[in-house]
Amino acid sequence: MDKTGGRKPGGIGLGKILAGVAGIAAAGAAWMYFREKSVETPDHETLESDGAFEIRRYPSLVVAETRQHGSRDRALGNGFGLLADYIFAESREGEEIAMTAPVFAVPVAKDWLIRFVMPRMLKREDLPKPGRGIVISDIPSRRVAVLRFGGRADDRLLKTKEEELLSRLAERGIAAAGPIEHAFYDSPIMPGPLRSNEVMAEIVDAPKTPG
């Protein structure tokens, strides 16, 4: 027995083990972060930028969407699973479809529309026929106000950011032309501090002043 109470030479202390585990976890999180940040996102034109607030113009987009009932979390989980099954060809013939970001959650009455944007290289007629519960839709070109934020997007944080977005619009004399949508850029396994999220609302073009 070591009379000094210390570990014997050549032993591995708990601190080093924990440090090694933490290092592996950090490396895994970094790999996940850069992998997910390389996923295709929709093209857009930034018309105005003020910190985390932006006004963007999006071209028309083709999306696969499913309407889900229940809370946002439940609808998002069920909808994500159904859409992932479609794009990864789990229950259909054909090739996989590349994953894109963000995943959109749009409130509709007491339900939610969960949407995956289709890769820009694929035309609507190129897409495999979706199964039950999934619809291929076109979203026309539109102008949207966006507020970017990080962290784990729970209901409380989303509500706060929705109110901030509406406040930013009110300051500019602009009204939302539709419901506030949620956009999630990362998978649920991404650590909260590394997640990127947005709340957004479609807005109408300001009327032109005669002159």
pLDDT > 50? residue 15: no
Could you list the beta-strand ranges (E) of 101-165. 103-108, 111-117, 135-139, 142-150
**DSSP line for 41-90:** ----EEEEEETTEEEEEE--EEEEEEEEES-HHHHHHHHHHHHHHHHTTS
What is residue 2's predicted lDDT score, i.e. its pLDDT? 41
The pLDDT tens digits for 81-107 are 999 999 999 989 999 999 999 999 999
Which class for 78: exposed (0-12), middle (13-18), buried (19 or more C-beta within 10 A)? middle
Computed over every residue of the chain, the mean pLDDT equals: 84
What is residue 126's predicted lDDT score, i.e. its pLDDT? 93
What is residue 211's predicted lDDT score, i.e. its pLDDT? 47
Ranges 29-43, 95-109, 191-205, most confident: 95-109
Q: Where are the domains of the chain?
A: 45-203
What is residue 13's predicted lDDT score, i.e. its pLDDT? 52
What confidence tier does 188 reach under pLDDT thresholds 50, 70, 90?
Answer: confident
What is residue 27's predicted lDDT score, i.e. its pLDDT? 39
The token pair that represents 180 in the structure block: 């506030």
Query: Averaged over 196-209, what is the pLDDT?
Result: 81
pLDDT > 80? residue 196: yes
The pLDDT tens digits for 125-178 are 999 999 999 999 999 999 999 999 999 999 999 999 999 999 999 999 999 999
What is residue 193's predicted lDDT score, i.e. its pLDDT? 86
What is residue 91's predicted lDDT score, i.e. its pLDDT? 84
The verdict on pTM exceeding 0.85 is no
Q: What is the CATH number of domain 45-203?
A: 3.20.80.10
What confidence tier does 74 reach under pLDDT thresholds 50, 70, 90?
Answer: very high
